[in-house]
Amino acid sequence: MHGNQSQINIEASKLIGNESKPQRMRRQLTLRLTNEKLSELYRRMLEIRLFEEKVFELYGQNLVPGTIHLYAGEEAVAVGVCSNLRKDDYITSTHRGHGHCIAKGAELKRIMAEILGKKTGYCKGKGGSMHIADFNVGMLGATAVVGAGLPIAVGAGLSAKLRKTDNVVACFFGEGASNQGTFHESLNMASAWTLPVIFVCENNLYAMGTCQSRIMSIRNVADRAMAYGIPGMVVDGNDVLAVYEIARTAVERARSGSGPTLVECKTYRHKGHSRVDPGKYRPKEEVEEWLAKDPIKRYEAKLLETHALTEAEARQIENEVAAEVEEAVKFAIKSQFPAPEEALDDVYA
Amino acid sequence: MRKITYREALREALREEMRRDANVFLLGEDIGRYWGGAFKVTDGLAEEFGDERVRDTPISESAIVGTAVGAAITGMRPVAEIMFGDLTALAMDQIANQAAKIRYMFGGQATCPLVVRTPFGAGVNIASHHSQSLEAWFMHVPGLQVAVPSTPYDAKGLLKTAIRGDNPVFFCEHKLLYPIEGEIPENEYVVPFGMADVKRQGSDVTVVATLYMVHKALNAAGMLESEGISVEVIDPRTLTPLDRKSIVSSVKKTGRLVIVTEDCKTAGVSAEIAALAAEEALDYLDAPIKRVAAADTPIPFSPPLEQFVIPNEKAIIKAVKEVV
């Protein structure tokens, strides 16, 4: 420890084999981050968790129309990646996108208002839970077609390059999306054109109810990077610092003009696929094992253990975040629904 | 006025807009310096604007349009070429679910100024996967604009409007139109969307036709004139927005309507135009509405088969004579 800096060890794996025999080398990395940065990561993850818990609660009160896909359990991925991005960098997101919005810096109250279908929401009630965007912070929106965001991220990367900016694009998608043609088209194109895109695969093991092992004969989505001549990293997606560090190298690579990276984050959703899904297809032991690896609890323990954060500071952050989420809920509930005829607006520019 | 081909007119529009706005760029399969586009529309543009702005892509239609969407919502004005209209099926999610909806579903935050250009149409014996006319698919997607130029003048003017506009435009070309010549002014001009053009004035019957069928309708009108039948030929030029007013007022004037399009008859472009006349000009009609469209079959290969399913002058003349 150096003053207000903390030193923390993390682990990731890098592909060292070849196409016929992919092998992964585990490697240890040591991180030095300021305590401020460390607590910022903690705060952001808590924002997502408490926000999602509140969404779940509001859904139970019939205040959320439609369905919800909660990000709880996967917080370390969005936060670890987005904490390496600037405000003018871009992200693309998925149907499970609340966490991405929050991590990229969108306002909780306007996300919540959108989820409740209110006029004050980011999309004026036109998008809902599965289609939130905040172009002011580079959040280019969530698409609910699995795999559809990948080519859009490639286009944003091409645009950044053609406009001669040094912006990068982080593209979030699940392991399920990696079986869509768009995944392969996009990785190939981004690689061929050396575009500044970080493909972030959130591997939560299940494409809806279908376990990865039933539909893919490889364990690591990241191994597919080899087919496109780009680096493919596997990282513990429930370790925010590991994600942060791997994403940092991928962002640096993209920003320096060296091209895309595929980062696979192994993670797990705490709830079912959507609100109606109790997730019975997941073995109890598996769920318990992953709940024990809760990214927030783990990170908090690490921060306390290394004295980067005190227990009192942790509780203070938690209380502040809870109050912030409560504010967002109040704002959303108080907000008006759009007038019905607003359905006709915004079809064309 | 000088005469140029439809192909050259499109190329001029691309060249002028690329010179005018550095954010305009082209992407598609084989559009660059090594081929110049399957129909040579982009020939020579890579030499002037470079490979970055006239970008050869992998054979990945979905990623071509998706990339255009991503570029469009972040400040660029991409013009994507899909080599054959039939292949837009491969990119349908990006066209219909992403490009068309990205503005709406994000509450107006996004602007998606992209153009997807593609050739439709039969007539060159390349069978079911390279000959369809699928304009109606795209008319059915709110958020898209659909252009259907039939002449070099319209092709150039509409493409410039498409590139400058802030909406995603599905720009339909027809492969038999590329070599057709027409007059083009020296001066810069654009053709606004939603404004039909009366290609020939007449008083006995209104024929609404699109793309290559405009030329067949004009041929038929010429032949009918010698028999004393005066045909008014209206070309909508854009299907979305559709110039409903011009069509309705022509129908009110002539009292008769024949619609000629190359897409399949069932649920086709002609159905929408017939419905428009039925809704807004029924009391003015002196005869049933007639539709001359392709048979409800895939496009066959062998010349006699292909000619059989695609509307021709004879079919147009027959339909007109049935209503006058």
What is the DSSP track for B31-62?
-STTTS-TTSTTTTHHHHH-TTTEEE--S-HH
Task: Write down the CATH number for the domain with range B197-323.
Answer: 3.40.50.920
Q: Supply the ipTM of this predicted assembly.
A: 0.96
- Are the beta carbons of B105 and A159 separated by less than 8 Å? no
Using pLDDT thresholds of 50, 70 and 90, give the confidence band for residue A22. low
A318 burial class (0-12, 13-18, 19+ CB within 10 angstroms)?
middle
Q: How far is B274 from chain A (nearest CA, A)?
A: 25
Q: Which of B94, B109, B143 lies closest to A347 in CB terms?
A: B143
Kindly state whether residue A109 falls inside one of the protein's structural domains. Answer: yes
Count of CB atoms situated within 10 Å of the CB of B220 = 29
> B83-116 pLDDT, tens per residue?
999 999 999 999 999 999 999 999 999 999 999 9
Kindly state whether residue A129 falls inside one of the protein's structural domains. Answer: yes
- Are the beta carbons of A141 and B75 separated by less than 8 Å? no
Kindly state whether residue A340 falls inside one of the protein's structural domains. Answer: no
Q: Which of B25, B94, B167 lies closest to A148 in CB terms?
A: B94
Alpha-carbon dihedral B282, B286, B287, B291, rounded to 10 degrees: -60
Enclosing H/E stretch for A171 = strand A169-174
* B177, pLDDT greater than 90: yes
Domain boundaries, chain B: 2-184, 197-323
Per-residue pLDDT, A21: 67
> What residues of B are in contact with residue A348 (Cβ under 8 Å)?
103, 143, 145, 167
Tokens representing residue B49 in the block: 């604007």
Do B2-184 and B197-323 agree at the fold level? yes
Nearest CA in chain B to A152: B70
Nearest CA in chain B to A162: B52
Give the 3-state secondary structure of residue A151: helix
A27 burial class (0-12, 13-18, 19+ CB within 10 angstroms)?
exposed
Task: Count Cβ–Cβ pairs < 8 Å, chain A vs chain B.
Answer: 146
Tokens 């409560």, residue? A326
- Note if B215 is an active site residue: no
CA dist B85 and B88 (Å) reads 6
Enclosing H/E stretch for B235 = strand B231-235
- Among B130, B140, B174, B215, which one carries the catalytic annotation? B130
Q: Which of B57, B76, B112 lies closest to A159 in CB terms?
A: B76
* A2, pLDDT greater than 60: no
CA dist A213 and A203 (Å) reads 12
Average pLDDT of chain A is 94
* B76, pLDDT greater than 70: yes
Give the class (CATH, top level) of B2-184. alpha beta
Q: How far is B103 from chain A (nearest CA, A)?
A: 7
CA dist A184 and A147 (Å) reads 10
CA dist A138 and A157 (Å) reads 12
Q: Which residues of B touch A (CB under 8 A)?
A: 23, 25, 52-53, 57-58, 60, 62-63, 65-76, 78, 93-94, 97-98, 102-113, 142-143, 145, 165-167
CA dist B67 and A25 (Å) reads 34
Contact A186/A156 with Cβ under 8 angstroms? no
> What residues of A are in contact with residue B74 (Cβ under 8 Å)?
90, 140, 155-156, 159-160
- Asked if the C-beta of A339 comes within 8 angstroms of chain B's C-beta atoms, the answer is no
* B194, pLDDT greater than 60: yes
* B30, pLDDT greater than 50: yes
Per-residue pLDDT, A19: 60
Domain count of chain A?
Answer: 1
Q: Which residues does B200 contact at the CB level (< 8 Å), separation at least 6? A: B218, B221, B231, B232, B233
CA dist B227 and B234 (Å) reads 20
Kindly state whether residue A347 falls inside one of the protein's structural domains. Answer: no
Residue A144: domain span:
34-332
Nearest CA in chain A to B91: A182
- Are the beta carbons of A135 and B78 separated by less than 8 Å? no
Q: How far is A281 from chain B (nearest CA, A)?
A: 30
Given strand B238-240, what is the order of strands in its sheet?
B54-56, B24-28, B77-81, B115-120, B169-174, B145-147, B238-240
* A1, pLDDT greater than 60: no
Kindly state whether residue A220 falls inside one of the protein's structural domains. Answer: yes
Tokens representing residue B311 in the block: 């509307």
* A15, pLDDT greater than 70: no
Give the 3-state secondary structure of residue B254: helix
Q: Which CATH number belongs to the domain containing residue A61 in this structure?
A: 3.40.50.970
CA dist B260 and A215 (Å) reads 49
Contact A122/A295 with Cβ under 8 angstroms? no
Q: How far is A134 from chain B (nearest CA, A)?
A: 8
